[in-house]
Structure 1
């Protein structure tokens, strides 16, 4: 198998320039091109004991001395079996005119212990090993400069995306929420206001979100978006953010600020996605699912008896879930599509239940429970306000919006039969699941969680002001 080691193609991005500096630094790429190339030494004799996962580079039982006579060229390599070894084979190759010997293992992929890298072929493993050894010997000056680089404002990511970021911020600041108008209209109609005015435009929050970096094997030639240097090697060259696609060396990723802007092409659907990730991707204050469902409920269903307690048809809830995952903000929630308002309410509860991090996070949960233990109401409210400062901003804004909505539902309890206690009983397992249910021997009691939610609904204005 041939790896792209000898390509003479000059990538356009390699020499893309800004007014002040080169965006991509080609030095490490050139260094990789200079590294020795793998040269398998073919065994010309029959080897009856050759494993099926090795090819002609396997020489059977061969001592160190005989291996030195076979592996004579720079980059040449063989796989052999050492005398007395049974659970591993030996990889021998020549680098810098010296023989290197490594225990070689196979479990579906080839690997050398303690490297954390796995390869489909021995050729790829040797190629990566030669590059690594060559870098250890020649790359120190370049790596030292790379280690010192910490100016994110001059990184390739910021240099190449300034215009895109400005446009995104402009779109964000100009966006308006239809749900505000729906909520305001509902409140006005209930209170019979005569001087109705349009609600003010809601400020959009730019949430602080860390990148979701994971070790990644890049195909082809790639550069670090933080320092601009080449991602050398052929497997696990660096990390990539699952949410926005930001690529970087592992060490460079530690210097990247918490400014992940998730790209919708990296996010599949809506349900089961981290809340902050979703609002960053859609550039909204809250998950649009929450906004759309609440707007529809307040438009036509706040007076429905048993709202949030009565279940909608499971197949219709699943249908709406798929529509929101597929169509996003364009999903149709109208009475023509879903006549039963309990389907909309059930879908909202499902969205909140499937959040990987609950709306009221596990870190906030015990602080809220502790707040309910105070005897005086003003102490309980103060304790809850303090506890909610532990929430991520996106979680806080969503919880605030939800509590305001549930307060308006509670105001209609004479019609819909949903008091603050009833609503809290319904939402407690969804919004405040126990941090570790597995240790509770079943579902734990939710008395304190219900009390905390009931306080937040009844006193939402004082708590969230």
Structure 2
């Protein structure tokens, strides 16, 4: 940072410029150009005068022997068919790499599939030189990043810059949940009565690096991870604030423009392309390896959320500071007020255009949406809207992770064993999914209690809701197991969801 940075600026405290300074010292690409034309039947027109035709490695080393670091040529190795060779001078040695090119939209120059792509060979070499240079000259800093034990999520740039905002959010949550008498969810989430920002500002003791450091390779992807920061998420300096909150970040490889640093370890994201990852929901920036240590406490940016239909369940309950999404709660209230005795409730479809209109209204007006009988006289429209909301969840209410345990319950030999297995399964659900599933299943149990009139037994309801609530594999057409699971869940909901 410049000397003009204010002494009390939080940026001054979090930005570590050492790696950026080292990157500036790295050698730059210097193409060694040929001085004559090359006559080849298959001349690669995507290379220029840096291409020297057919040449073996000894000839290329002779050509580059007295050249400065960063000098390079492109050649075709004798006998090569589907690749060309980059010969590059670095640290008084000549290195050789197979390089490829694809002209399509996602193509470019690259070393191997599923790796960084570059518009030009110059860019590929520049990025490689930086990584080589960092490997040698930044090794002590990277090693310190790897061995940190005191630096924590608490002291990360993200928390330094956002602590005040998160504390204010926490106070709002404390007020909104003050009169919420929801019972604790389960053993795994015993502290559900503490709130969202507790988990944001405190430690997740289960957060550990899941991948060991890969063996060093003498290749340009040696430091593609941009530093394997083994920063532990310490439990010191815990701010106890009010709802255990879990939502995984949606990290995607990202190419950053300008100066950017990791929001966990505060070190510079070096390189020129695909330097790190960025969360699509909250914008958290990190090195690839640092991202593995970031707790699952993603707080999405409200500006990135458009409506509630099709949005992640955890995001919705977080942004709206509620336990049950208002769409689910309002629809259930309407059905229980005027649809419990409706024959075929949830089985009979409402008019598609009216369901679309109600969906649009809920996305646009939220809690203020008029769902009364005067606005939607056909209760099947409200019931269909609830099914649509649950069907559009990116992660189904019964998640992919919990699905196998639910299916295992079908093989139990007694009702008691089956209930125990389903208790185990619901404990695997994220808090938002657990709360919503419990609310919906208990509602469906009440609906089925009127089956003599509405003709909707537990099995009939399960047949309707199985494809909506359960994360069934796409190729699966026989839903008999899923229907059995849901039937049992509705029938024995009090025992399964008991405290």
Give the TM-score normalised by the residue count of structure 1. Answer: 0.79
User: 1:60 matched to which residue of 2?
Assistant: 53
Once structures 1 and 2 are overlaid, which stretch shifts more, 9-18 or 402-411?
9-18
Give the match's secondary structure for 1:22: helix
User: 1:6 matched to which residue of 2?
Assistant: none
How many residue pairs were aligned? 429
Match among 260, 273, 279 for residue 298 of structure 2: 260
* Compared CA separation, residues 212 and 249, structure 1 to 2 (3 A): same
Higher helix share: 1
User: Does the alignment pair 1:77 with 2:113?
Assistant: no
Q: Please give the residue correspondences for 1:239-250 in structure 2 after superposition, counting only pairs within 5 Å.
A: 239-250=277-288
User: 2:232 matched to which residue of 1?
Assistant: none
User: 1:47 matched to which residue of 2?
Assistant: 38
* Compared CA separation, residues 271 and 365, structure 1 to 2 (3 A): farther
* Compared CA separation, residues 116 and 291, structure 1 to 2 (3 A): same
Give the match's secondary structure for 2:49: coil
* Compared CA separation, residues 246 and 12, structure 1 to 2 (3 A): farther
Give the match's secondary structure for 1:464: coil
Deviations 1:436-456 (A, max 9, x none): 473x66444656225313314
User: 1:452 matched to which residue of 2?
Assistant: 488
Cα deviation, residue 129, structure 1: 0.5
Cα deviation, residue 90, structure 1: 1.7
User: 2:468 matched to which residue of 1?
Assistant: 430
Q: Please give the residue correspondences for 1:323-362 in structure 2 after superposition, counting only pairs within 5 Å.
A: 323-325=361-363, 333-335=371-373, 338-360=376-398, 361-362=402-403
Cα deviation, residue 403, structure 1: 2.7
For residues 273 and 432 of structure 2, the distance between their equivalents in structure 1, rounded to whole angstroms, comes to: 36
User: Does the alignment pair 1:158 with 2:145?
Assistant: no
Preserved contact between residue 19 and residue 138 of structure 2 (Cα < 8 Å): yes
Structure 1 runs not aligned, ≥5 long: 1-8, 181-200
User: Does the alignment pair 1:464 with 2:465?
Assistant: no
Deviations 1:164-199 (A, max 9, x none): 11121122233379999xxxxxxxxxxxxxxxxxxx
* Compared CA separation, residues 34 and 450, structure 1 to 2 (3 A): closer
Larger Rg: 1
Give the TM-score normalised by the residue count of structure 2. Answer: 0.74
RMSD: 3.7
Deviations 1:397-419 (A, max 9, x none): 11221133234434555654444
Give the match's secondary structure for 1:59: strand
Match among 330, 345, 354 for residue 316 of structure 1: 354
* Compared CA separation, residues 81 and 169, structure 1 to 2 (3 A): same
For residues 12 and 381 of structure 1, the distance between their equivalents in structure 2, rounded to whole angstroms, comes to: 65
Preserved contact between residue 324 and residue 436 of structure 2 (Cα < 8 Å): yes
User: 1:374 matched to which residue of 2?
Assistant: 414
Cα deviation, residue 295, structure 1: 3.2
Cα deviation, residue 142, structure 1: 0.7
For residues 7 and 374 of structure 2, the distance between their equivalents in structure 1, rounded to whole angstroms, comes to: 56
For residues 141 and 343 of structure 1, the distance between their equivalents in structure 2, rounded to whole angstroms, comes to: 64
Preserved contact between residue 179 and residue 291 of structure 1 (Cα < 8 Å): no
User: 2:218 matched to which residue of 1?
Assistant: none
For residues 433 and 115 of structure 1, the distance between their equivalents in structure 2, rounded to whole angstroms, comes to: 29
* Compared CA separation, residues 219 and 423, structure 1 to 2 (3 A): same
Cα deviation, residue 386, structure 1: 4.5
